[in-house]
Structure 1
Amino acid sequence: MSRFISFSQSGQPGYGLATEAGVVNLSSRYAARWPTLREVVAEGALERLAAAADKLQADFSADAIDFEIPIPSPEKIICVGVNFPDRNAEYKDGFDAPLNPSLFVRFPRSFTGHDTPLIRPPESPQLDYEGEIVVIIGKGGRRIPEADALGHVAGLSLANEGTIRDWVRHAKFNVTQGKNFDRSGAIGPWLIPFRHEAQLADIGLETRVNGELRQSDRSSRMVFSFRKIIAYVSTFTTLVPGDIILTGTPTGAGARSDPPVWLKPGDVVSVEAEGIGTLRNTISDEE
């Protein structure tokens, strides 16, 4: 399984492959052609780079880098809300699925990488977790048919779609504020190239806090499929290579506990999905 990462080392950005032996630094070899993973994805070159990296030795250990979100500066990060049946029940809508997915956008600055802290802001203690499967667009398009949608996917990743709960209720019609505090969420640890539908069709997704299982479901139970999400989003906006789509979280977020349980400094949150990996983050207060 090829695991492409974006990273920084001594303040310098780069990208490469995470292997058992360490990190193969591809940016030091290919940056003139592909400055970041976004350009690699746009050219459909993930498989070529993976094959080339098989012949290379690791350049340094994973401890020598800071993980960044896999695609730097994506044009769009689009998030799907309430996309598992039990989540509809949490919102007192019963189990009847709506006709179309609920969507909102997040800014790249609201996410951090794997093994770095999620930041709890001074404005609110209500930092919550949401484990999600991430789809990264490789082939752009507008009004993409559902039948063709997965052909536009370059890779898969994971997200903790961290949310400041009371701030999603500051206004009547939107959740933008509570979803976009700097570094309140995470994407990573890496990008796994998408090769076939079985990678998405029925995979387990779990979120743990300090080792305790909080969320668990399977992608086959999503209200809106990956195909439907891509087709629907591309109806109103042109998808471009490197766009990131977060596809929804299962029931079990801290806000739905009785009483609610919020993340606090020192907590460790892990999001795991079969065939993708584990995204892990600690929690810190904003300095």
Structure 2
Amino acid sequence: MTRPKLATFRADGRVRYGLVRNDGVVELSARHPEWPTLREVIEAGALNLIAEEGAGAAVDFPNGAFTYEIPVPAPEKIICVGVNYPDRNEEYKDGQAAPAKASLFIRFPRSFVGHGQPIVRPPESVQLDYEGEVAIVIGKGGRRIAEADALDHIAALSLCNEGTLRDWVRHAKFNVTQGKNFDRSGSIGPWLVPFQDESQIADIALTTRVNGEVRQQDRTGRMIFSFRHIISYISTFTTLVPGDVIVTGTPTGAGARFDPPIWLKPGDVVEVEADGIGLLRNTVVDEATA
């Protein structure tokens, strides 16, 4: 089944949103001035509505005439889950069982670029690493959401390369914020796929490749903390609002776990792919040449 793909993109010097087709994109933002960005579309519960509108329309910008931005501009929150696959927990070699509670941290929108845009390695570190993940976007807000109701709060799915500066996550004793938030160090996209039901995410394959080589591969059915649990747990301490992004954890196989570690370098190509969502692709550049 082919699901609609809704993207935020830049064309002719303006940021817009629309429906992605094989030959280009149908602009929908011009048709809906009441919804300036996809964040407002999500809040209105109108992703499927605008997708249907665009299905029969002609392409406004052919491939090559636009560039992708992160799908949800300026989300209130981007919350990331740390260790969420069994093999990833075993990488720590600390003899501890899978955690009883999810490890969480915050990322800022500025730390991400869109599909096809270069990920930037900063001059402060060469230890730029990749982490391929499934991202969920909240559609209906709420606080203390029950697990039984959690999936009703998902608007859409996307992909994330949760790029990390490994030495900078160890600058302090209790947090990883520094190494997770360098400008343009990760990516989200290419688009949003509207969420329909649990079968869409229950057990999908998630794969990360670097220069064509498979580095990470697992299935969401093996996650330690389910999508339902993650939404319920996070909403216990903070109110989720439409457009919030939750990045749900990465499988084993990041570059830091090789001996010696294999860091990303300029010219590398990172691809994150998941069944039914798509493929997120980015090159790597040094900040000096970005």
| Both structures adopt the same fold (TM-score exceeding 0.5) | yes
Quote the Cα distance in structure 2 between the aligned partners of 1:272 and 1:21. Answer: 20
Map 1:91-102; keep pairs closer than 5 Å: 91-94=92-95, 96-102=97-103
119-128 or 61-70, which moves further after superposition?
A: 61-70
Per the alignment, residue 196 of structure 1 pairs with 197
Quote the Cα distance in structure 2 between the aligned partners of 1:95 and 1:131. Answer: 24
Per the alignment, residue 135 of structure 1 pairs with 136
Deviation for aligned residue 1:114: 0.1
The letter of the residue matching 1:282 is T
Map 1:184-263; keep pairs closer than 5 Å: 184-263=185-264
Per the alignment, residue 36 of structure 2 pairs with 35
The letter of the residue matching 2:133 is E
Deviation for aligned residue 1:28: 1.6
Q: Check if 1:87 corresponds to 2:96.
A: no
- RMSD between aligned residues: 0.8
Deviation for aligned residue 1:185: 0.2
- Aligned pairs, number: 286
Quote the Cα distance in structure 1 between the aligned partners of 2:102 and 2:144. Answer: 16
The letter of the residue matching 1:115 is G
TM-score by length of 2: 0.97
1:115-134 Cα shifts (integer Å, max 9, x gaps): 00000000000000000000
The question of whether the paired residues in 2 share the 8 Å contact of 1:154 and 1:194 is answered with yes
The question of whether the paired residues in 2 share the 8 Å contact of 1:77 and 1:108 is answered with yes
Quote the Cα distance in structure 2 between the aligned partners of 1:95 and 1:158. Answer: 29
Per the alignment, residue 160 of structure 2 pairs with 159
Quote the Cα distance in structure 1 between the aligned partners of 2:96 and 2:282. Answer: 32
The letter of the residue matching 2:237 is F
1:128-184 Cα shifts (integer Å, max 9, x gaps): 000000000000000000000000000000000000000000001000000000000
Per the alignment, residue 276 of structure 1 pairs with 277
Partner SS state of residue 64, structure 1: coil
Quote the Cα distance in structure 2 between the aligned partners of 1:195 and 1:155. Answer: 8
The question of whether the paired residues in 2 share the 8 Å contact of 1:136 and 1:242 is answered with yes
Deviation for aligned residue 1:54: 1.4
Quote the Cα distance in structure 2 between the aligned partners of 1:10 and 1:259. Answer: 45
Deviation for aligned residue 1:88: 0.7
The letter of the residue matching 2:20 is A
Q: For structure 2, which runs of at least 5 residues remain unmatched after alignment?
A: none
Quote the Cα distance in structure 2 between the aligned partners of 1:242 and 1:135. Answer: 9
Deviation for aligned residue 1:29: 1.4
149-158 or 18-27, which moves further after superposition?
A: 18-27
1:88-128 Cα shifts (integer Å, max 9, x gaps): 11112447221110000000000000000000000000000
Per the alignment, residue 23 of structure 1 pairs with 25
4-13 or 267-276, which moves further after superposition?
A: 4-13
Partner SS state of residue 64, structure 2: helix
The question of whether the paired residues in 2 share the 8 Å contact of 1:9 and 1:66 is answered with yes
Per the alignment, residue 7 of structure 2 pairs with 5
Map 1:112-123; keep pairs closer than 5 Å: 112-123=113-124
89-98 or 38-47, which moves further after superposition?
A: 89-98
Q: Check if 1:55 corresponds to 2:56.
A: yes
Identity of aligned residues (%): 67
Partner SS state of residue 227, structure 1: helix
Quote the Cα distance in structure 1 between the aligned partners of 2:96 and 2:29. Answer: 47
The letter of the residue matching 2:22 is E
Quote the Cα distance in structure 2 between the aligned partners of 1:50 and 1:108. Answer: 25
Deviation for aligned residue 1:265: 0.4
Partner SS state of residue 61, structure 2: coil
